[in-house]
Structure 1
Amino acid sequence: MATLFVNVKFSSTSSCPLEADPNSSVGELKSLISDKTGVSRSGLQLILAGKVLQDSQTLNDLGVGNHTVLHAFQQRGSPRLEVNAQVGLNQLGASNSATVYPYQFFVYCKKCTKLRPGKLRVVCGCCLQGNIILHQEPSCFEDVLLPGRIQGSCQNCKSQQDSKFYFKCTCDHGDLDELQGQCAVLRHIKPNRRNRECITCTDVQQPVLVFPCAKKHVICIDCFISYCIVQLNERRFIEDPEAGYSLPCPAGCHGSLIKDAHHFCLVGTEQYERYKNFGAEEYLLQSGGLMCPAPRCGAGFLVEDPTLKVVCLTCQYEFCRECRAAYHPGEECSTQHYSNPTIDQERELSQEQALRAQYDLDSMETIEKISKPCPQCKAKTERSGGCMHMTCTVCKTDWCWICEKAWNRDCQGNHWFG
């Protein structure tokens, strides 16, 4: 097995890099430290993730990987409180059985640009050094995500301090300094130890996303990514005061919104940028803002002046507040007049503006030819196949592609299939 490179820190300015066999015990590692530094092995203690390590434990069992930082201190006088290091070893990425999925935590690593297993680490909240012995172990995400929940005895500050937890990617990035390479933990991603089927494809995958609904519905990562992209294309993300724009369980369960937007990083860099732009657009529209309809612009801004003529603050394009076409003084608008556009109408306009920002004016002429407006909110809709029963993605109105009216029994009987 390959040699591990371990960094043992005595203080913020003193450290000892070592090469060790992964099967070495903590006791053997202490002997290596003593031989290299001259520090007496007697009373030498090592700390990992807020726990004092026992001499009989091996680096492999503890989940120690390349460039893992261990913190050392010389124990003097009465022994300090030690937490049983055998509890929660799976949280460090170790497993005593080959049949058990080894990882408990998952993160989005910006360096890997993808979902990765994560490891939990802890430092003193005051000096940010890792040689702190916790008074109790964390038992839930609130213990590690909320400040001040767990205290410890810091061997650097020599005082009782609040602990600061963070997560790192299990991949070797060569991070030797504390808090370097922190990653956003994805608390809804969990190991599928009960082999639950994906709610979408019914396949059994590892790991999975578990929605926070009462039934704890499971979805595999591939289906979750597809679900996010489809919902983003149809602008179906839901605004939540705490989570921002989020998604619920596909089954529509109450209270199932994903609580952390970092989960949407899984869709990839390009789609995640679309998600952030969507959130900005929705917030602007909710605040009564406008989107510039000029090609290759699409800038958003708030306008307090109630006049029909609007000038884009970015590209200086002049357009009509009512129909979003180029400003036309003295002429009637070609679209239905509305003096106080609703949020749904503005949202529909945002979709058109997104198209205009990507294509030339020739493309807009094509859109006019192949699309029809929703009879309720006038959202431009393109039919790509299937029956004539249309559902507006903006206002959710059911309407008929043939007669361009609300869907009714006559539509279903006469031209359901055209």
Structure 2
Amino acid sequence: MPNVVTILLQDRKMDQRRNITLNVDNNENIAELMKNVEKLTNIPSEELEVVFCGKKLAKSTFMKDLSLTPATQIMFLRPKNLVQLTNSKFDSNNKITDTSILGSFYVWCKKCDDVQRGKLRVYCQNCASTSVLVKSEPQNWVDVLKSKRIQVTCENCFAPGLFADFKFKCLKCNDLAAALTHVRGNWQMTECCVCDGKDKVVIDLGCNHIICQNCFKEYLLSTLEEFRFTNRPPYGFTTSCVYPGCNRVVKDVHHFHIMGQSSYSEYQRKATERLISIDDEGVTCPNAACGQSFFWEPYDDDGRSQCPDCFFTFCRKCTERECTCQSDDDLTKITIDATTRRCPRCNAATERNGGCAHIHCTSCGMDWCFKCVTEWKEECQWDHWFN
């Protein structure tokens, strides 16, 4: 099926520049496209270099591998001195191999509400033009996910000291999407470590404990139910690999979209509440009809806070509307102090209503002994099992 593309021809040899509109077939390769441009411009195809998404394309690259859209722009350069063409991509180990980088990524698309194949696009950081040429190939995920990593030359604005602005798009709907660095194609048809299935698209945290999307979703939902996500800076509240004993973690919370939008929103809310509960300036509204969590920065105030959601004003220490901190009759505080013990890491009040003395803190994730009030050890299991 033919596609209409715009060719930006930059003739540095003659110091000329012009735009050409062409109908191209998906089954054509770059060599055939160069021949068509040669017929229109009388410029020998041997003197042309083809640049797309910031990289020079090999003549063997097929148009169907470029994920063309109606707004696609391909740049043809006629340099003063010819440069050897290169063609490269990331493989599963973030190394460079000799195939097209396009269409080899997976993204979370909000419009499709699903995991989709993605495409990487590069723009000029200054003018957002696609007529750019990267000065060096990205070597890993950091190079495309972090800003100011790869320098470019822009054929549109020619500003000095420019950097690439990389963006991912959904291959299905062409909307901007979030890259999923742990999702990849199951090219070896490895079995899921949970259900033994062999899905075409799997999650791999880098430990080769492959898990299919359905099992990963169920694992996340069960983790969310009791909120067993733990705070792992710099990734935030995340979870480890499903395989027992593996300490690899999910490094990007965009992967949690796989749970579904409502569950993802619940995860965000609970993660915020947990973060605030372990932060010195975190406050949770004690109003039973509210429960909003927020940060409060005290500046020599009277120790009282006002909820920005329901406007309930309360004492941050005793959480009462009328402060009872100086009263000996605060039965609620007396009861809490008498029936709970504090987590040795985050100081969260914890009540034990049965079972062994092994406590898993839902605020910070620490495993500790209710009898010793210290980190859980093997000795605790034998010494306090029935206490």
TM-score norm. by structure 1 comes to 0.66
Residue type at the aligned position of 2:132 = I
> Does residue 378 in structure 1 map to residue 351 in structure 2?
yes
Is the partner of 2:331 in helix, strand or coil? coil
Is the partner of 2:336 in helix, strand or coil? coil
Is the partner of 1:338 in helix, strand or coil? helix
Residue type at the aligned position of 2:70 = H
The answer to whether the 8 Å contact 1:120/1:167 transfers is yes
Residue type at the aligned position of 1:257 = V
The answer to whether the 8 Å contact 2:221/2:259 transfers is yes
- Tell me the alpha carbon deviations over residues 206-227 of structure 1, each in whole angstroms, 9 at most, x when there is no partner: 2111124xx4322111111221
Alignment match, 1:292: 285
Alignment match, 2:270: 278
Alignment match, 1:241: 233
- Tell me the alpha carbon deviations over residues 134-169 of structure 1, each in whole angstroms, 9 at most, x when there is no partner: 444333223333445444554442878544433222
User: Aligned equivalents of 1:112 and 1:208: distance in 2?
Assistant: 18
Residue 76 to residue 40, structure 1, CA distance change in 2 (3 Å): farther
The answer to whether the 8 Å contact 1:66/1:172 transfers is no
Alignment match, 2:7: 8
Alignment match, 2:167: 166
- Tell me the alpha carbon deviations over residues 199-251 of structure 1, each in whole angstroms, 9 at most, x when there is no partner: 22222222111124xx4322111111221122122121111221111111123
- Tell me the alpha carbon deviations over residues 164-218 of structure 1, each in whole angstroms, 9 at most, x when there is no partner: 4332221243xxxxxxx43221111111222222222222222111124xx4322
Alignment match, 1:23: 27
| Percent identity between the two aligned chains | 25
Alignment match, 1:193: 187
Instruction: Specify which of 62, 71, 80 is matched with residue 77 of structure 1.
Output: 80
User: Aligned equivalents of 2:225 and 2:55: distance in 1?
Assistant: 47
Residue type at the aligned position of 1:190 = R
5 Å-filtered alignment, 1:359-398, equals 377-378=350-351, 394=361
Q: What stretches of structure 2 of length at least 5 have no aligned partner? A: 11-16, 90-96, 371-380
The answer to whether the 8 Å contact 2:305/2:313 transfers is yes
User: Aligned equivalents of 1:142 and 1:218: distance in 2?
Assistant: 23
- Tell me the alpha carbon deviations over residues 47-66 of structure 1, each in whole angstroms, 9 at most, x when there is no partner: 12333334454313x34333
TM-score norm. by structure 2 comes to 0.71
Alignment match, 1:333: 331
The answer to whether the 8 Å contact 2:277/2:283 transfers is yes
Is the partner of 1:4 in helix, strand or coil? strand
Deviation at 1:316, TM superposition (A): 4.3
> Does residue 209 in structure 1 map to residue 209 in structure 2?
no
Residue 236 to residue 85, structure 1, CA distance change in 2 (3 Å): closer
- Tell me the alpha carbon deviations over residues 345-373 of structure 1, each in whole angstroms, 9 at most, x when there is no partner: 9998xxxxxxxxxxxxxxxxxxxxxxxxx
Q: What stretches of structure 1 of length at least 5 have no aligned partner? A: 94-103, 174-180, 349-375, 382-387, 400-405, 412-418
Alignment match, 2:310: 315
User: Aligned equivalents of 2:140 and 2:217: distance in 1?
Assistant: 26
Q: How many residue pairs are counted as aligned between the two chains? A: 346
Is the partner of 1:120 in helix, strand or coil? strand
User: Aligned equivalents of 2:176 and 2:343: distance in 1?
Assistant: 39
